[in-house]
Amino acid sequence: MKRLLVVSRCALSLGLVALASIAPAWAEPVFPVDNQAGLARSFALPELGAAEVRTPGHPLWRLALDWSNEFVVKQNTNESLTEDGETQRYALYYARGLGNGFELNAELPLLITGGGVLDGIIQNWHDFWGLPNGGRQDAPHDRYLFQYVRDNRTLLKVDQGTAGLGDLELGAGWQALPALALRAMVKLPTGDAGKLTGGNAGGALWADYDPFKGSARWFGFLSLGASYNARSEVLSAQQRQFVGFAGGGAGFRIFRPFALMAQLYGHTPLYSGSEIGALTRDGLQIAFGGRYDFNARTQLNLGFQEDLSVDTAPDFSIHLDVTLR
């Protein structure tokens, strides 16, 4: 009988270990990314997908890099738009549970803008796959220029890169249901609008839902929300103050440390009064990549993001983050 009990306990222990080896260890966004275009930084577009708030005693730290490359050259009889440059965005994120289903969080970004280190790589990638370069081959490499001319008036011109703080984001979350978190975010104008690093106040409300709650291998989210934005110095007469946004993503844990992931992030137009679609078209981005869990507390995400709605977001972005919990 004692032997039977010992065998049963060993079998139970092995079963629990096996279950833990495939159970998802993270209830975090698939990728914590949004639209990092130079002309989108005036808007409160939050990172989506955190359907579970933090609990007391289990804070979360994340250090992330988003390296984005933009290239848009459009012209019609009355307007011309040039967006040519690159941004490295380093962000420190912290979240802490307060108890009773509430959480507070904050994110402080540092932006470095300038010429296109990735220009040649992207052009060679397009050439290899037979994809159009959109005029990249005719533009000077390492150029930094954001310029909008309308009716022979230059309404925007930024041609010098910079390094400085972006807009500080303060957020809160409430666990309304086991698989649903309601969230809010306030964006403070700590950046510089004249250098396209932010500098505009705004706020957002949204819901993050986990449709895979309880799944051993699948994880992901569905999100929906809206933001209100103060008038920015960047094309203020054409800026839309109300912006809707939505997203969805999924990941599949192939084995214990490694998962593959993909997600979509979309938003309504950011500007109006133009015939150039880069300003007035709905935005839609796709991100895809993988996640590796070093241990129960340390996680690495690596992803790539492209604009499905052409010219409304960076042409190409690399996302890398390390999360500690």
pLDDT tens per residue across span 124-160: 777 777 766 677 777 777 899 999 999 999 999 999 9
Domain range enclosing 270: 24-319
CATH number at residue 187: 2.40.160.40
Mean pLDDT computed over 291-318: 94
Does residue 8 have a pLDDT over 50?
A: no
Q: How far is the C-alpha of 202 from the C-alpha of 171, rounded, in Å?
A: 12
Please report the pLDDT score of residue 142 as a whole number.
81
Summarize pLDDT for 186-214 with one digit per residue, the tens.
999 999 999 999 999 999 999 999 999 99
Residue 255 placed within a domain:
yes
Among residues 295, 298, 304, 305, which one has the least CA distance to residue 322? 298
How many folded domains does the chain comprise?
1
Summarize pLDDT for 20-71 with one digit per residue, the tens.
333 444 556 799 999 999 999 999 999 999 999 999 999 999 999 999 999 9
The letter for the amino acid at 239 is Q
Q: How far is the C-alpha of 239 from the C-alpha of 234, rounded, in Å?
A: 8
Is the Cα torsion angle 301, 304, 308, 314 positive or negative in sign? positive
**Mean pLDDT, the chain, whole residue set:** 89
Does residue 96 have a pLDDT over 90?
A: yes
Residue 18 placed within a domain:
no
Among residues 325, 324, 321, which one has the least CA distance to residue 301? 321
Among residues 19, 33, 51, which one has the least CA distance to residue 285? 33
Summarize pLDDT for 211-228 with one digit per residue, the tens.
999 998 999 999 999 999
